[in-house]
A and B are shown apart, each in its own frame.
Chain A
Amino acid sequence: MQGSIADSSQPITEATIAPTAIAHAHEAHPDFRVWGLLTFLISESLMFGGLFVTYLFLRGEAAVWPPEGTEVELLLPTINTIILVSSSFVIHLGDTAIKKNDLAGMRRWYWVTALMGATFLGGQAYEYYTLGYGLTTNIFSNCFYVMTGFHGLHVFIGLLLILGVLWRSRRSGHYGSHHHVGIEMAEIYWHFVDIIWIVLFSLIYILTLF
């Protein structure tokens, strides 16, 4: 290993390095933030992973799952799922718009996404209100409320990010076809929230059918 030091490295001169380094300098900041967000989201998804594992483990131990009296509703959550999943496509239209320097288009699609997100949260709150059991009723309801509640918190944060983008976009020149990292990050976060929901919906709602 030690002997290979001198011969393995190709001579690197300033001339070969400088152009890439300078080209890098212009794009550096945006890349870092998206990279950092992705690193964080991978980590965050493992936290949901922990909750999912708990759910599956407790489900495996129980004789009847969900226990009698704490069945889940299916119609409203399905509508909610359709709304949330389609909002991921809507937010992407906003991202496409800003890449074409269409600020008004971006604002329009982000407003629609925000509305869909708020509808999802409203639907979730209505579901909680009408279910007839609470957080501490039994071990299933523990899991149900913690998982959906924790996800709801993430939807809420995503909504705040989108509203933040909309607030900042009022200033002209803040976003453009070359400055839209904030828009992109809000979009990535929204997709993350969406993907988590698909897993969660499968575990809590679809799995109870079998």
Chain B
Amino acid sequence: MTMASRVTALALRTYPSWWRERYQDEMVVVIQSLLDDGRSPLGVAVNLIASSLRARLAGAGAPASREFWVHRTQRSLLVATIPWFAIVPMAVTFYLSNSFYGSFHGLLPPQLSRAGMLARDFQEGMLYVILAYVVIALVGWRRLRHGLEGQPLQMRWFRLVNGAAMVGITLVISALFLGQHNSTSMLAEVCAYIGLGLFVISWFSLPAVVTQMLRDGELAVAFLRTEVRLSTALACLSGVLTLLAVGNRVALSLQPTPLPGAGYWMYRSSLDAWYLPLLIGFLLLTIISALGAHAARRSYTRTLIV
């Protein structure tokens, strides 16, 4: 096998399995003829990869069976919603990294500049978006469980993760309560660490549980419709979060430099070098979520037709 054939064979593997089953054999013959004609293997590979993405999104040429499209919608829903589990901690980190600092000379504290106020508004906006995000995700979770009720699913992992999260939250609340009475309480510290640990473990295990539920179960049309709408809302909110993060950073950088010896009141972020990786993360997750929501909407429409 030549290098060119290997590259195009790899590109062909990016197509979904149903596509390969139907078109791969004839495509291989066409690709080979084009390569023999002197077409660039890289150009052919790029064309194949772009078209495979379109095939995944549009699902043209896929089997016209209702079961196939229901499962495709559910898989797309997963792609649209799984980034949520990473975006929320990232947004919380971003939110908590902003704080005030300043230097006072005289009786009245200096005013925050307009850019500083804007940065603060963007940061506060993030909090509202995170809250909206959590509410939408909880509604989606409730509908998902309701939609899969009565189906023979393996719920053992779900119960375990759910239980760990509940115990974690209870321990953290207990730690806060104990700490209020005795700020050096060893018990409070242990409760806080174990509680947080359990919560984090269950948070990052939940995507696997949701994946299993959506892979093994089958949602009715009414539930699919709600989940598709919610996933679209989550993808839009991810985009809003990304814009707020960019706006916050731009506003922070536009704050005037304090004059030597004068008092100042500024807004700052402690992210420093972590800002760029975090922003790239936001962007990538938003794109993945938007593509998933788009594919889910298209697949849901096909579910109604077939």
Task: Judge: A and B partners, yes or no.
Answer: no
**Chain A interfacial positions (CB closer than 8 Å to B):** none
